[in-house]
């Protein structure tokens, strides 16, 4: 039934881009050799592959570009409005400064902004001492984070970047770090500020590229006499993002402009397959003549400008009813240079039932369920209406056991047509910090409903994550399912990545595994894994199977741990995966089915 296409064995691809970026890069390095004055440099595409490099792995002093890691660690250890009091020892540090005063109190984000915009060494030191108690402990966190991120040619000796033995990085590691930082919305917002007023002082961003370079999203400068001029920046044009790093470059601003203009002129992140594409497939024996198929996801390839890949679409000439929504209809194969670069499934957007035949109709749901979903009556009351002969389907009196399709059949109760049920929507949101889990808030705080407003449907959060908690949150307009899921007795497991501070983390983790009494309720023991340990605490993966208000935070408090960050990463068999903070996606049919078989509580952030 599928059109004949030569079968191609596909290599494993990363984000549908790995193959063609790899093959293209070889040509790029051969033909693309701009003249720049940097001792070391890199231009890196957003997936981590370099399109230009010069001494990229040479370990060098990096001056204040150090503060990229300082900012990332500080963000992970703090809330935006967390107050930090400035110790006297952090004031008057040599080099660029915010000119902080002893005893002054600023928020974590004000200090991070001052550190990124005007490169305040005093701000970096104040964050280190204020969040970890000492510079040494904070620097240990920086080095630990570098190891976790795989920055194997990077080491830190201080949080500000003044020259020190054992303090170095490479152009390649800094580019990778910048890409990671720019995926953090809090970091990206702060580093892009052209200026900021902090405690009645006005600070201007030292990054001249913000005003001079089209599409510049942010950057960090650095200079010491030994390190020379250092610059790390990020730029995006037409949906394509690059990071550029130059170390010891006397003409760094102009070199970044030249490099960006050159790579954007030569390369483009090309949309090859769009999810907006639609394909009509004839249906034999169905209540509708055609079924609509669309790509399961979009496909983008990183290609030289002016070059277009070939796409081969495999679709059936027709199909038989019934057609199941979400089923595979065919596939699109993307070819570049005569070889397979990507493949994506085509799926049916809506099911098609079998047409009436013989003595009956192939109907989807029991009538009482359809009536209950319309809100007219409960399922039990709907059964009584049917038994009393008060329900008709397409003009015929219905009987108990009959089935119907609410989208196709005319259903009437006591002569009045049944209102069509609202289409059910089920989504997963990656809730960011600072949002309350309500539809509206009398205090004017930001709500999760603002993050899904584009759907145009009133969705209710299933349970809660408190304002300072993050991660997986299910939202739906299916009230019946939501009520079942929020039953406090729970049942489904939920996993939280929990950053904590405290003493003897292994002993505390052992206590968390035991039942404990919280607010008069005896909890079941949690499953606890230690993901990593730090000088001041660690990161725990805490899995629970019940749903009590702020349960994880209260459990940790009871064993002497202070929670600094709480992210729900899994729930009821659903995982957050690569869903970015503040973004949402629709649940798959399999995920919805999994939830329908689960009862769980959610108020445990």
Q: Which two tokens stand for residue 471?
A: 């991660």
Judge whether 421 and 406 are in contact, CB under 8 Å.
yes
Check pLDDT > 50 for residue 599: no
Mean pLDDT of the residues in the chain: 85
- pLDDT grade for 317, boundaries at 50, 70 and 90: confident
The angle that helices 135-148 and 121-132 make with each other, rounded to 10 degrees, is: 90
Q: Find the Cα–Cα–Cα–Cα dihedral 251, 253, 254, 255, rounded to 10°.
A: 70
- pLDDT grade for 84, boundaries at 50, 70 and 90: very high
Alpha helices in 78-219 (DSSP H): 108-117, 121-132, 135-148, 171-182, 185-191, 209-212
The terminus-to-terminus CA distance of the chain in angstroms comes to: 51
On the question of a common fold for 273-348 and 365-417, the answer reads no
CA nearest to 595, candidates 477, 458, 489, 474: 474
Tell me the C-alpha distance between 59 and 62, whole Å.
9
Q: Which of 335-349, 399-413, 527-541, 575-589 has the lowest mean pLDDT?
A: 399-413
pLDDT tens, position by position, 419-476: 766 678 899 999 999 999 888 878 889 999 899 888 877 888 887 888 999 999 999 8
Sort strands 521-522 and 416-417 into parallel, antiparallel or unpaired: unpaired
pLDDT tens, position by position, 163-220: 999 999 999 999 999 999 999 999 999 999 999 999 999 999 999 999 899 999 999 9
Domain ranges of the chain: 55-207, 273-348, 365-417, 426-596
Find how far residue 341's CA is from the centre of its chain: 25
Check pLDDT > 60 for residue 12: no
pLDDT number for residue 227: 97
- pLDDT grade for 59, boundaries at 50, 70 and 90: very high
The three-state secondary structure class of 333 is: strand
Check pLDDT > 70 for residue 72: yes
CA nearest to 413, candidates 395, 391, 385: 391
pLDDT number for residue 25: 37
Name the pTM for this structure. 0.52
Check pLDDT > 90 for residue 477: no
Mean pLDDT across 589-595: 82
Cα 184 to Cα 108, 205, 283, 338, distances in angstroms: 15, 19, 46, 38
* CB burial string 399-417: b at 16+ within 10 A, e below: eeebbbbbeebebebeeee
C-alpha angle 36-41-45 in degrees, rounded to nearest 5 = 115
- Report the topology of domain 273-348: Peptidoglycan synthesis regulatory factor (PBP3), Domain 2 (2.60.410)
Judge whether 524 and 546 are in contact, CB under 8 Å.
yes
More confident residue, 516 or 482: 516
- pLDDT grade for 399, boundaries at 50, 70 and 90: confident
Mean pLDDT across 393-412: 81
List, by residue number, the catalytic residues: 466
Whether residue 322 has a cis bond before it, omega within 30° of 0: yes
Asked: is 365-417 a CATH 3.10.290.10 domain? The reply is yes
pLDDT number for residue 541: 95
Q: Taking the CA of residue 334 as centre, how many other CA atoms within 13 Å lie in the half-sphere pointing to its CB?
A: 24
User: Thinking of the domain 426-596, which architecture would CATH place it in?
Assistant: 2-Layer Sandwich (3.30)
pLDDT number for residue 472: 95
Sort strands 319-320 and 279-284 into parallel, antiparallel or unpaired: parallel
More confident residue, 87 or 362: 87
Q: What is the CA radius of gyration of the chain?
A: 29
Tell me the C-alpha distance between 464 and 473, whole Å.
8
pLDDT tens, position by position, 261-315: 998 888 888 889 999 999 999 887 777 788 899 999 999 887 887 888 999 999 8
- pLDDT grade for 405, boundaries at 50, 70 and 90: confident
Check pLDDT > 70 for residue 19: no
Check pLDDT > 50 for residue 127: yes
- pLDDT grade for 341, boundaries at 50, 70 and 90: confident
Q: Which two tokens stand for residue 222?
A: 């650095």
Check pLDDT > 60 for residue 159: yes
Tell me the C-alpha distance between 321 and 355, whole Å.
8
pLDDT number for residue 512: 93
- pLDDT grade for 156, boundaries at 50, 70 and 90: very high
The three-state secondary structure class of 403 is: strand
- Report the topology of domain 55-207: Beta-lactamase (3.40.710)
- pLDDT grade for 151, boundaries at 50, 70 and 90: very high
For residue 544, the cross-strand partners are 494
């Amino acid at each position: 039934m599928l059109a004949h296409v030569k079968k191609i064995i596909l290599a494993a691809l990363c984000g549908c881009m790995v193959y063609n970026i790899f093959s293209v890069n070889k040509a790029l390095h051969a033909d693309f050799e701009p003249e720049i004055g940097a001792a070391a440099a890199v231009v890196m595409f957003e997936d981590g592959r370099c399109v230009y490099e010069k001494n990229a792995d040479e370990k060098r002093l990096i001056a204040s570009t150090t503060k990229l890691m300082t900012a990332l660690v500080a963000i992970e250890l703090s809330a935006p409005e967390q107050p930090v009091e400035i110790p006297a020892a952090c004031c008057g540090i040599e080099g660029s400064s915010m000119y902080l005063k002893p005893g002054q109190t600023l928020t974590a984000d004000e200090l991070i902004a001052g550190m990124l915009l005007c490169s305040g060494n005093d701000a970096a030191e104040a964050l280190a001492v204020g969040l970890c108690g000492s510079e040494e402990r904070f620097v240990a966190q920086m080095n630990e984070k570098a190891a976790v991120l795989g920055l194997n040619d990077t080491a830190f000796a201080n949080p500000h970047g003044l020259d020190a033995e054992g303090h170095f990085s490479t152009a390649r590691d800094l580019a990778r770090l910048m890409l990671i930082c720019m995926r953090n919305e809090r970091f990206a917002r702060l580093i892009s500020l052209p200026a900021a007023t902090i405690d009645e002082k006005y600070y201007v961003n030292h990054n001249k590229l913000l005003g001079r370079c089209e599409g510049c999203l942010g950057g960090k400068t650095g200079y010491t006499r030994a390190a020379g001029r250092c610059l790390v920046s990020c730029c995006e044009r037409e949906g394509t993002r690059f990071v550029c790093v130059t170390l010891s470059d006397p003409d760094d601003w102009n070199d970044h402009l030249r490099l960006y203009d050159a790579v954007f002129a030569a390369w483009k992140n090309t949309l090859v397959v769009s999810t907006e594409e639609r394909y009509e497939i004839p249906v034999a024996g169905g209540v509708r003549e055609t079924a609509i198929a669309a790509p399961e996801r979009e496909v983008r390839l990183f290609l030289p400008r002016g070059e277009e890949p070939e796409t081969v679409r495999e679709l059936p000439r027709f199909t038989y009813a019934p057609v199941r929504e979400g089923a595979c209809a065919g596939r699109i194969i993307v070819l570049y240079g005569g070889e397979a670069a990507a493949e994506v499934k085509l799926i049916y957007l809506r099911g098609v039932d079998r047409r009436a035949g013989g003595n009956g109709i192939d109907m989807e749901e029991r009538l009482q369920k359809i009536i209950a979903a319309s809100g007219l009556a409960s399922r039990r009351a709907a059964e009584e209406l049917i038994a009393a002969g008060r329900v008709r389907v397409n003009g015929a009196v219905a009987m108990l056991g009959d089935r119907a399709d609410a989208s196709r059949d005319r259903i009437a109760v006591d002569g009045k047509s049944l209102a069509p049920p609202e289409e059910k929507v089920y989504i997963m949101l990656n809730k960011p910090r600072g949002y309350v889990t309500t539809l509206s808030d009398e205090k004017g705080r930001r709500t999760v409903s603002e993050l899904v407003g584009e759907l145009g449907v009133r969705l209710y959060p299933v349970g809660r994550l408190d304002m300072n908690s993050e991660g997986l949150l299910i939202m739906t307009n299916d009230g019946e399912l939501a009520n079942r899921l929020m039953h406090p007795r729970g049942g489904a497991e939920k996993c939280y990545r929990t950053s904590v501070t405290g003493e003897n983390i292994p002993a505390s983790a052992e206590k968390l595994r035991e039942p404990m009494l919280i607010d008069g309720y005896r909890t079941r023991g949690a499953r606890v894994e230690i993901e990593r340990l730090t000088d001041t605490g660690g990161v725990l993966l805490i899995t629970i199977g019940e749903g009590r208000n702020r349960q994880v935070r209260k459990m940790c408090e009871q064993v002497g741990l202070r929670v600094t960050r709480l992210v729900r990463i899994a729930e009821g068999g659903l995982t957050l995966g690569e869903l970015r903070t503040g973004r949402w996606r629709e649940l798959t049919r399999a995920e919805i089915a999994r939830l329908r078989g689960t009862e769980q509580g959610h108020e445990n952030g």
